[in-house]
Amino acid sequence: MSGTNRPNTTLTRRSFLKAAGATAGTMGIAGAAGMLAADDWLAPTEAYAEPEERVAYTYHQAHCRGHCMLKCTVRDGRLCLIQPNDKAKEGLQTVCLKGLSEIQHVYSAERIQTPLKRVGERGANEFVAISWDEAMSYFAENVRKCWDAYGKQSVFVSIAMESEVASELGKLLSASMDTVGGIDVGYANGLAPIYGGAKRSGPLGAVSAFNGVTDWMNCKTLLFVGMNFIESSLTQTKPFFDAKDAGMHAIAIDPHYSTTATKCDEWIPIEPGTDAALFLGMITQVLDNGWYDEAYVSAHTSLPFLVSQADGSLLRDHAVDPAAAAPEDGAANPFLVWDDEAQAARPAADVESPALEGTFTVDGETYTTVLSLLKKNQQSYDTVWASKVTGIPADAIESLAERYATGGPACIAVGYGGNDKYGNADIAGHAAGLLAAITGNIGRAGGGVGYPGFGYGSAGLGAWPLAEDMKPSTLAVPAFELPYVDSPVKCFIGVGDQIQQRFADLNKLDEWVQGLDFIVYADVYHSTGAQYADLVLPICSRFESDEALGGVRSNKGQVMLRQQVLEPLFESKTDFAFERELARALGIDASLPKTNEERIVRMLDTAKDAKVAGITLEELQANQGVLPYRAPSAVPFSDGKVPTASGRFDVYFPDLVKFDQALPAYEAPEETGADSKLRDRFPLQLCQMRTRFHIHNQFCDAEWIRQYSTAALHLNPADMEQRGLSNGDTVEAFNDRGSFACPVVGDESVRPGSARIFEGEWSKFMNAGNIQNVTNPGISDRGRALLNGPVIPYNDTLVEVKKA
Ligand SMILES: Nc1nc2c(c(=O)[nH]1)N[C@H]1C(S)=C(S)[C@@H](COP(=O)(O)OP(=O)(O)OC[C@H]3O[C@@H](n4cnc5c(=O)[nH]c(N)nc54)[C@H](O)[C@@H]3O)O[C@H]1N2
Ligand SMILES: Nc1nc2c(c(=O)[nH]1)N[C@H]1C(S)=C(S)[C@@H](COP(=O)(O)OP(=O)(O)OC[C@H]3O[C@@H](n4cnc5c(=O)[nH]c(N)nc54)[C@H](O)[C@@H]3O)O[C@H]1N2
Ligand SMILES: [Mo]
C-alpha cells in the first residue's frame, strides 16, 4: 500500500514555508518532525506561527441514533477540533466520545487507502494496490461476466446503514437487494400489523406506534424492555432525564443490570428470550382485574369483532375473495360486531356499543368476539405461569401490570436488541401491542409502544430519478439465507462490512463465500469483511468530499448538510463518486447526476413532505448546514385514523391462524429455552449487545476509544468461579458451530447463566475467531409468513466457556 496520496502533499506553499521557518519560540521543526515520525504523512500543524484555519459543518454517523451535527475546525489541512453545531435544534447540539475521537480516527491506520485487488487465497487477506481506473475496469468486467452467464439477479448488493447514496448502486445494476434482512424486525413483526405499519420501509414500517422520546414529558410510566437506551441512543437521552425530573416512573426489564437499568426507578431482571411470557402474564392480570379501557376497546380495536369458530376467520359483510388483487378494507367490506339491541351482526362503524364478549349464531354459524377468545386464550397464561417462564416473581408481574394499566399514560419502549433477536420476538411484539391496545395507550400523548424514535416522524427528501429500467431485481431468498440455500447469487457487493455484520454462523458463510464468482467490499475501514473480497475499495468518511458538498439528510426533525471538511484522504472517494465511476465503466451513467450538488438540490427541490418542502440549499448554507422541520408532528393515530384493514387497532391476526398465532401464543426460544437439550453441553446464553463506545463494527479500531473499550467476554463472577477463571484470562467461547477467544471479565451486572459481549468486534482484535462463528442462523417456518420475514436469532445462542 505504498505511493498513496499523502495529505502533506496538499500542504499549501504558504504553510510549508511557515513550517520551515518556524523558530524555537513556537515549536522547532525538528522537534515536530521527530514527534510525527511514526505517521509521517501528517502535516506538522504544531509548527506554525499563524495557522491556516477554517470551519465546516457535517453530520456524523446515524446508526447510533446520533446523527450529530458537527462543527469542524481544520487547521493547515488537518481536522483538529470537533464541536456540536450550535445552529442545530435545541437538545440536538450533541457530540459524544465517538464523534470527538474522529480527530484521530479519520486518520486511523486501518483506513483503506487505495483500491486493493486480492492476490492470495480468498480469506487470506493478501492484496496488491491498484488504481481506481484498474479497479473499475476489473469490477465492470466481473459484473458483465455474471450478467452474461447468469442474469442481473446474480449480482447481490448489500448495504450498510451508514453508507451514503449507495442504495442507488443496487438500482443502477438492477441487482438483487437486501429486502428481507432478518435484522431489527422481530418485535415489529408482531406490532406493525396491529397499527398497519407497512412492510419494512423503515425499521418498524412506515408508521410507528411510538410517540417519540420528546413525548416522554407526558408519560407517567415508562417500560424499557430489552432497550439499553442510555448506550444505544446516547446523544438523545436528555428527554429521558427531563421526563424523569418531571415525575415519570421508569422501569427497565432486562436480564442484566444495564446502564439504562441503573438510571431507572426499578430494574426487573428477566430470563432472556421470554418477554412474550411477561406481556402475556400482564394481559391476564389486566383482564382479570377489569383494568382495560372498555370505551377505547369498543371504539378503536378489533376486540369486538366476530371470529368464526369453524375456521378462525373474522366475520365480514361479504365473503373475502382469496384471489382478489388487493384485499378489501373495512369501508368496502365492513367487519361485523354483535349489536345487542338489534340481536344481529352489523358493521362495526354502525354500532355504538357492540357486545364485547359472547358467542353468537349468524346464518347458522357460531361466532365469538375476539375479546372472549382472548380471555379464553389467556387462561393458560396467568402470572404464576409467567413467573415460572420469566423468573420474575408473580407479585412483581402483578404490580407491574397494575402500574402500567392504572398509572398511565404509559409507554413501552422495546429494543431492537434483546428479545428482538429471538425467533419468538413477533409473539412478544403482538402481546406488547395488545397490552397497549386494551389499556388505551396507543394514539395517546405519553403512551405509545415500539422502538424509541426521536419523534418528528420521518420526512423523506426527494430522489434523483434514474433510468426506467434501473430497479432492483427480485430475489426469492431472504438475504441472510443466501449462504445456506440455493440461490442465483454469484457476485456479492458489500457496501460497508456486510459479511461480518449481516449473517450468523461465519464458518458456514465461509463455505458459501468460497463458491462465489466475485466479491467486492467498499468501506472506509479495513474491517473483517474485507478479508473475503476480490476487490476492496476505499470510501471516504463523512468529513471528506471531493466537492464542496457531500450529501444531505433528513432525520430527528432537521435537514442536514454534509459540507466538505477535508478533501478525500489517500485515494478514497465518496460513495457517490464511486458509483459514478462504476456506472461510467459499465457505460450506464447517462441518467446519473454529474455532481453531488446537482443531486442534493434535486432532493431538496422534489421533497413533497410539508415538513421539509421548500427548504433550499441556500437557506441551509446560510444556517451552518442545518434547518429544523417546518411543521410539527402529531402523536401517531391521535386523529383516530389507523391504516389497517379495519381502520382500528387490529389485534387479531387471521393470517396466522394456521400457526396458532391469531392471538399471541407463547413459544420458548429454540436453542436457549429452558427445555433445550443443548443446555447440558453449552450452558451459557450468549447475549450480544451495543456499547456507547462502538457502532457495531465501527470505532473498534479508534485508538482513543480503545482506551475505554476493547474486546471482552463478560461473565457473572459465580460463572467465572465455577470455571476457574480470573479477570483477564483469555477464554474460548464455543459451541457446535465454532468458537472465538478473547479476555474474560467478571461483572456483577451480568445475569448468571449468560455470557455477554459487544457485537461487531473485528476478528483482528480478538485473540482468535469471531463472535459470528458461534451465532445462531436458525429461522422458523412461521417466520417466513410474517410481515417482514424471519429474524436472525443472534441472542438465541448457547456456548460454553473455558480457559484458552
Ligand atoms: N452477532 C451479532 N451480529 C449482529 C447483531 C447482533 O446483535 N449480534 N446486530 C445486527 C444489527 S441490529 C445490525 S443493524 C447490523 C449492523 O450492521 P451494519 O449494517 O453493517 O452496520 P453499520 O453500522 O450500518 O455499517 C457498518 C459499516 O459501514 C461502514 N461505513 C461507515 N460509513 C460509511 C460510508 O459513508 N460509506 C460506506 N460505504 N461505508 C461506511 C463502516 O466502516 C462499517 O464497516 O449488525 C447486525 N449483526
Ligand atoms: N452506541 C451504539 N448505539 C447503537 C448501535 C450501536 O452499535 N452502538 N446500534 C444501533 C442498532 S442498529 C440497534 S439494532 C440498536 C439496538 O439497541 P438496543 O435495542 O438497546 O439493543 P442491545 O444493546 O442489543 O440490547 C438492549 C438490552 O437488551 C437486554 N436484553 C438481552 N436479552 C434480552 C431479553 O431477552 N429480554 C429483555 N427484556 N432484554 C434483553 C440487554 O441486556 C441490553 O441491556 O442500537 C442502535 N444504537
Ligand atoms: Mo440494528
Helices (H), ranges, 611-764: 617-622, 703-706, 717-722
pLDDT in tens, 105-121: 999 999 999 999 999 88
Residue 624 pLDDT class (50, 70, 90 cuts): very high
pLDDT at 26: 30
pTM of the full predicted structure? 0.93
Instruction: Please tell me the residue having the least CA distance from ligand 1 atom 47.
Output: 501
pLDDT in tens, 579-594: 999 999 999 999 999 9
Query: What average pLDDT does this structure show over 397-416?
Result: 97
The domain made up of 677-803 has a fold known as: Barwin-like endoglucanases (2.40.40)
pLDDT at 505: 93
Residue 36 pLDDT class (50, 70, 90 cuts): very low
* CA 674 – CA 659 distance, rounded (Å): 22
647-685 residues labelled b (16+ CB within 10 A) or e (exposed): bbbbbbbbebbebebbbbbbbbbbbbbeebebbeebebb
* Atom from ligand 2 closest to the CA of residue 422: 35
* Beta-bridge partner residues of 387: none
pLDDT at 265 over 70: yes
* CA 446 – CA 362 distance, rounded (Å): 40
Query: What average pLDDT does this structure show over 654-679?
Result: 95
Kindly identify the ligand whose nearest atom is closest to the C-alpha of 162.
1
* Atom from ligand 2 closest to the CA of residue 273: 35
Kindly identify the ligand whose nearest atom is closest to the C-alpha of 791.
1
- CB of 772 within 6 A of ligand 1: the answer is yes
pLDDT at 481: 84
Neighbours of ion ligand 3 (CB under 5 A): 184, 416
Q: Distance from the CA of 416 to the center of ligand 3, in angstroms?
A: 6
Q: Distance from the CA of 385 to the center of ligand 3, in angstroms?
A: 32
Between residues 15 and 522, which one has the greater pLDDT?
Answer: 522
pLDDT at 708: 95
- CB of 527 within 6 A of ligand 1: the answer is yes
The domain made up of 51-95+541-566+594-651 has a fold known as: Phosphorylase Kinase; domain 1 (3.30.200)
Q: Is the peptide bond before 269 cis (omega within 30 degrees of 0)?
A: no
For the chain, give the mean pLDDT: 91
Q: Which residues line ligand 2 (CB under 6 A)?
A: 63-65, 184, 225-228, 231-232, 234, 253-256, 258, 270, 272-273, 275, 415-419, 687, 689-690, 692, 694-696, 795
Q: Which of 237, 266, 282, 416 to mutate to test the pocket of ligand 2 (most atoms within 8 A of CB)?
A: 416
Other C-beta atoms lying within 10 Å of the C-beta of residue 288: 14
pLDDT at 511 over 50: yes
Instruction: Please tell me the residue having the least CA distance from ligand 1 atom 31.
Output: 162
pLDDT at 791 over 60: yes
* CA 482 – CA 496 distance, rounded (Å): 18
Kindly identify the ligand whose nearest atom is closest to the C-alpha of 773.
1
Kindly identify the ligand whose nearest atom is closest to the C-alpha of 687.
2
pLDDT at 22: 33
pLDDT at 292 over 60: yes
Q: Which of 162, 505, 527, 699 to mutate to test the pocket of ligand 1 (most atoms within 8 A of CB)?
A: 162
Contact, 117 vs 534, CB < 8 A? Answer: yes
pLDDT at 27 over 50: no
pLDDT in tens, 647-665: 999 999 999 999 999 999 9
Residue 31 pLDDT class (50, 70, 90 cuts): very low
pLDDT more than 90, % of the chain: 81
Q: Distance from the CA of 65 to the center of ligand 1, in angstroms?
A: 13
pLDDT at 200: 55
Give residue limits of the domains in the chain.
Answer: 51-95+541-566+594-651, 111-179+474-539+574-592, 677-803
Helices (H), ranges, 122-256: 132-150, 167-172, 186-195, 229-232, 238-245
| Class of domain 111-179+474-539+574-592 as given by CATH | alpha beta
